[in-house]
Structure 1
Amino acid sequence: AGDQNLFTSLYPTLSQQLPREPMEWRRSYGRAPKMIHLESNFVQFKEELLPKEGNKALLTFPFLHIYWTECCDTEVYKTTVKDDITKWQNVLKAHNSVDWLIVVVESDAKKKNKTNILPRTSIVDKIRNDFCNKQSDRCVVLSDPLKDSSRSQESWNAFLTKLRTLLLMSFTKNLGKFEDDMRTLREKRTEAGWSFCEYFMVQEELAFVFEMLQQFEDALVQYDELDALFSQYVVNFGAGDGANWLTFFCQPVRSWNGLILRKPIDMEKRELIQNQEATLLDLRSYLFSRQCTLLIFLQRPWEVSQRALELLHNCVQELKLLEVSVPPGALDCWVFLSCLEVLQRIEGCCDRAQIDANVSHTVGLWSYATEKLKSLGYLCGLASEKGPNSEDLNRTVDLLAGLGAERPETANASQSPYKKLKEALSSVEAFEKHYLDLSHATIEMYTNIGRIRSAKLVGKDLAEFYMRKKSPQKAEVYLQGALKTYLAEGWALLVTHTRKQLAECQKHLGQIENYLQTSSLLAGDNHLTEDERKSFCQEILDFANQQAEKQGQKVILPMHSFAQLKTLHFDPPNAVVHVGGKLSIEVTLLSQMPIPVQVDQIAIHVHFSIEKNSYRKTAEWLTKHKTSNGVISFPNEVAGFPLSRNNLPALELYEMYERSPSDNSLNTAGIICKNVHMLLRRQESSSSLDMPSGLTLEDGAHVLKCNNLILEPGVNKITFNTQ
């Protein structure tokens, strides 16, 4: 207010000098003080700009009102300036505005022109007497502000210090009131009619203010609190405790154009939230885009990738919890586009060396994008041998329609996520190229950072893709690699699943011996259904029958996949016989086949030791092996697993409870494994994978045989006699 021309002449210097010196900002509730630079937006005084009662806008709030005058004439002061200041102050009082400052500008040039004027201090004194009462510091003098002199500079420094102090005092006071009002509003969230969207806009206003002050950490906290609040409501909804306002976010998904991270503020989505028209994906996209902007200001791009991965997985779950209608493939599109958008945003603010050094933070997004592109390819018939049919093509058209038009900010980028997805879904060849590029890049990244298990898992997906494309020779490499790792680490279910895939692959490749070996292991695998085991067992029996009829090739399969040797029972118990005496050996075999198997012959080879002191040696051996009544027991083995896995420590499982600090009620319960680092440690040596090769023993004098037997599933006892 006051002399507009005077202010205009001083504004360039004022706006330039005000932010130069930092001020210590002390806040309430024991929060640590911070040094901040104040930048102010000066606007001409108008009564309609003063905040109305209940107005929660903090960004447009007038924190300090300044009246400018260079009046040096008592008469002029009495006739015009005093009345003008009085009117100005009355308006401020009417709006409860108590933060104001009167600036009297002193100029030597005007002094020389007027010889009959009173000393300058008299005008200042009059203003202080008339308006300042006990607040004499609310009137300051600025001497020769446009001159380049030490006096002028001192005057500027004193004025700027006062201005910064008053601005900060007013800002802190009004900010505290705003935060109190915001807390009050949040505490009303259990009341009917409370709106999350309205509350969102209030707390975001606070975030904007912190961002304006370059207090990015404080701004980020506001969005994190909003994120946590919304997440809790969604979880409660899933547990049957739904808030009415959540129904706004349960609208069917009609657009899936991914995250937008190239704008500081996505005004379009913000407007949807403000008007309570946003879908769940709109809210999540906007919220994350703001968090992303602040994290990049804080130079924490790797946290962006970590949070993005959590966000994408959480959104998938939240849509399920809220039972939102989502067209098939829409979510895959949204996740794929979002992954690439985050990766490109990070690439835009980091150099190549930084990106390569932090692959561990971004590889999860590469992997997730690969997984979603694979799902889309399968859904749209792009991964099959024959290619898409008419239904697949219609689905592709619908999915592309849900992407909408490409955003202006990426329209000129040749490798935008939008263009990549559109191209990948355009043809079988394009899909294969994009999918293979992504898969190989992901495998390479996982391998480079030592996450071999994850690399093998992506390799398994690739193998599945190659099998669909009828290229089993390419699939076999990935399946064998995965199987080797799973065997080394004892992942029984993964071994079973991979062996099934490998069996199919070997069958297509015509690798008869390998296929039968894999089938024998699967036939004895308890992780498969009874029918599956029977079918694999039948494959072996069918082959055996064919070869018997044709007198074809012989295939030698290891015994451990068919049956396990459980016990040997000698009679006599010490297994010592005289020449011409009789030795009986009862063998207990555990057949792992799911059906009875007709066996032409079972033979065991016996080594006789003919020595004078054989009684003593045999007794020593039997004592050492702790036989009981001539029975020797053999340890249990899992078919197809290396023995080294048996040396692993046992699981150390403990119950875990978390209780609420306020009322000691149970919040969460779970089980934790304390020695997981021992159990999940990778086996570096591959020697443990090498299964002992089967020995084919020739017929000899000491071969005991039993002919034409049927091995029933489970325990079988077979007796061999010799003389």
Structure 2
Amino acid sequence: MANYLAQFQTIKSACAHLIIAVEDVSDLWPAVRNNFEERLPFRRACLNNKTRNPVFLENLPAEFVLTTDARLRSRFPQEQYLFWFREPYATLVLVTCEDLDEFKNIVKPRLKVFAQNDEREWFIIFLSKAHPNNDQATKMAKKVYAKFEADFSSKKRERCCKFDIYGPEPNFWEELEFRIMDSIKNTLDRRIQFYEDEIRKLSEQRFMPIWNFCNFFILKESLAFMFEIAHLHEDALREYDELELCYLETVNMGGKHREFGGLDRGDDRAALLNPGNKSLTQIVQGDSFREFEFRQYLFACQSKLLFKLNHPFEVASRGYSFIISFSKALESNESILPFCMREVWVITACLALVDATSIQYNDEDVAPETEKEFYRVQGDLYSLCRIKLLRLAYLIGYGTEIERSPVNSASLGMLPWPKPAVYPSVPDDATSEVVVKEKACNYSTSKNS
């Protein structure tokens, strides 16, 4: 399965939305395409998450794709199931029919063959060409549509709806969206179950010699990516969190040598927020991934989802913890890494997190306590950045020029500066006192100079 990594990454980059296939039986799509596409994205979507609880979405992008499109051509079964997230989530069958004989002899047999595929969620859209002023044509269209309903719908499942080219009924678009969302929800539920079953099988083999992390990764990230394109971002984030825990367990398992990575040009610059910094095939080694690149990749995927959920504070908080943890991994591998690699990486990681979270942060949407915590974490990132900058200066020969102070001494000794368990509260009238002190300090400085 590891051989599919390159193909997997290519498919992911080309799959931005849920696909709704269009089976254009009567060559009608060019005439109605604009009418359908202007209804996207769906604004009243309801899907089930991983625990089968309904999630209401205000904006769900999707794309109509003809079944003759190259992206939907038949594939090998293993490949099709492995990358099931890119397969259509619903199929619209566009068809028209002038009379009952045509329906009986031509249209019905063709649709019966199509309907035998139980894996597809499909429904028929009968396009009526009858002009409102032509009573005979209108009556015939109603009779033909009644045959469609009788042969393809049932009490359990409505599979037909009628679209009048000269003006659809007022509730047609609401009915169509309901049918499409019902199909997407059923397909999503079935595919979630498939991925969960496959992942469970591999998880049971985790401590066996046949265990292959690449196989597990492709299935796990396929599920996460399917959640992401369905805008179920919390479920996608949970998959990446579980994937990270599993990876760290495999890293800590003894008995197998793994390359750490970090030796390529530009690796000293952190890639915490760029999941596409390197291709997956560049960082794979045997049946696993190099720790240096892969842990950053996972954090970047998590951060992307957290930003979509509008949680920049959590990105900053997670980022600070990640930098501390990853810095220890860099220290453990310092003998094989370039000189001062750890210091430069931490500095660039801290600054990147501060910049990205500051841009995404909106203080109008958060509680006062969260706002305080956000700026406190940003302060921690700046403080850690300062510590590593001092350490870098010391290592490259500027130690004698660094001011000797308790703070700097602790920094150069790589010791965390002690912080109070509880920060003192700031009085409401403290602003005026601060201004007075600043003026006094400025006056004293100018006088001494």
TM-score (norm 1): 0.47
| Alpha-carbon distance, 1:339 to partner | 1.2
Q: Which residue of structure 1 lines up, in the alignment, with residue 382 of structure 2?
A: 366
Residues 329 and 51 of structure 1, relative CA distance in 2, 3 Å threshold: same
Partner amino acid for 1:230?
Answer: Y
1:268 matched to 2:290 = no
Match for residue 336 of structure 1 among 347, 352, 365: 347
- Contact 1:329/1:376 (CA < 8 Å) preserved in 2? yes
The 2-side partners of 1:463 and 1:197 are apart by 40
One of 114, 120, 123 as aligned partner of 1:88:
114
Cα shift at 1:282: 0.8
CA contact (8 A) 1:72 1:120 kept: yes
Matches within 5 A, 1:373-452: 373-384=389-400
Partner of 2:181: 164
1:39-93 Cα deviation digits (max 9, x unpaired)? 3322111473467246222331222222101222234334543344245345xx3
Q: Pairwise mapping of residues 213-362 of structure 1 onto structure 2 (< 5 A)?
A: 213-234=230-251, 236-237=252-253, 241-242=254-255, 244=256, 247-251=257-261, 253-255=263-265, 256-260=267-271, 263=274, 265-266=275-276, 268-273=278-283, 278-319=289-330, 325-350=336-361, 358-362=374-378
Matches within 5 A, 1:25-44: 25-26=47-48, 29=51, 32-36=53-57, 37-44=59-66
Structure-to-structure mapping, 1:520-559, within 5 angstroms:
none
One-letter identity of the residue aligned with 1:76: E
Q: Which amino acid aligns with 2:388?
A: K
Shift of 1:360: 0.9
Q: How does 1:607-618 map to 2 (within 5 A)?
A: none
Q: CA deviation at 1:119?
A: 2.4
**1:331 CA displacement:** 1.8
SS of match in other structure, 2:201: helix
8 Å CA contact 1:10, 1:146 repeated in 2: no
Letter in 1 for 2:313: W
Per-residue deviation, residues 8-30 of structure 1 (Å, max 9, x unmatched):
3333333343644424434565x
Report the Cα distance in structure 2 between the residues aligned to 1:340 and 1:154, rounded to whole angstroms: 53
Structure with bigger RCO (C-alpha 8 Å, 6+ apart): 2
Distance across 1 between alignment mates of 2:153 and 2:421: 72
How far residue 329 of structure 1 moved from its aligned partner, in angstroms, is 1.2
Paired with 1:327 and 1:228, the residues of 2 have a C-alpha distance of 28
Pick the aligned partner of 1:45 from 57, 63, 67: 67
Task: Give runs of aligned pairs for residues 98-177 of structure 1, distance below 5 A.
Answer: 98-109=120-131, 112=134, 115=136, 119-132=140-153, 137-142=158-163, 144=164, 147=167, 152-177=169-194
SS in 1 for 2:85: coil
Q: 1:208 aligns with which of 218, 221, 225?
A: 225
Unaligned runs of 5+ in 2: 1-22, 425-449
- Residue 194 (1) aligns with residue 197 (2): no
SS in 1 for 2:161: strand
Describe the shift of the 1:183–1:101 C-alpha distance in structure 2 as closer, same or farther (beyond 3 A): same
- Cross-structure match for 1:388: none
Inter-partner Cα distance in structure 2 for 1:352 and 1:125: 57
Answering whether residue 99 of structure 2 is matched by residue 73 of structure 1, we say yes
Q: Please say if residues 261 and 293 of structure 2, whose CA atoms lie closer than 8 Å, have aligned partners that are also in contact.
A: no
CA shift in 2, pair 1:197/1:374, >3 Å: farther
Shift of 1:273: 4.9
Change in CA separation of 1:198 and 1:274 when aligned onto 2, cut-off 3 Å: farther
State the distance in 2 between where 1:352 and 1:269 align: 36
Q: 2-side partners of 1:106 and 1:366: how far apart?
A: 66
Identity %: 21
Q: What whole-Å deviation, never above 9, does each CA across 1:677-708 have from its counterpart, x for those lacking one?
A: 69x99xxxxxxxxxxxxxxxxxxxxxxxxxxx
Which of the pair has more CA radius of gyration? 1
Q: Closer, same or farther in 2 for the Cα pair 1:258/1:284, shift >3 Å?
A: farther
Structure 1 residues 137, 167: CA separation in 2 closer, same or farther (over 3 Å shift)?
same
- 8 Å CA contact 2:46–2:56 kept in 1: the answer is yes
Amino acid at match of 1:458: V
Structure 1 residues 463, 200: closer, same or farther in 2, change over 3 A?
Answer: closer
Change (3 A) 1:166 1:462: closer
1:582-640: CA deviations, max 9, x gaps? xxxxxxxxxxxxxxxxxxxxxxxxxxxxxxxxxxxxxxxxxxxxxxxxxxxxxxxxxxx
1:458 counterpart residue number: 407
User: Deviations 1:126-147 (Å, cap 9, x if unpaired)?
Assistant: 33455557766122222x2552
Tell me which moved more, 274-283 or 301-310. 274-283
Tell me by how many angstroms 1:202 deviates. 2.0
Preserved CA contact (<8 Å) 1:50 1:62: no
Gaps of 5+ in 1: 386-431, 440-455, 465-484, 490-675, 682-723
> 2:62 is aligned with what amino acid?
S
Conserved? CA contact 2:124–2:159, under 8 Å: yes
Write out per-residue CA displacement over residues 187-240 of structure 1, whole angstroms, 9 at most, x where no aligned residue.
222232322233223222222222223222222111111122222333x43xxx
- The one-letter amino acid of 1:258's match is R
Check whether the contact 2:60–2:231 (CA below 8 A) recurs between aligned residues.
no
Q: Is the 8 A contact 1:51 1:61 kept in 2?
A: no
- 1:339 and 1:21 map into 2 onto residues whose CA distance is 38
Q: 1:194, 1:187 → 2: CA distance?
A: 9
Q: d(CA) in 1 for partners of 2:412 and 2:262?
A: 35
Q: Which residue of 1 aligns with 2:11?
A: none
Deviates more, 1:63-72 or 1:183-192: 183-192
Asked whether the equivalents of residues 210 and 216 of structure 1 are also in contact (C-alpha less than 8 Å), the reply is yes
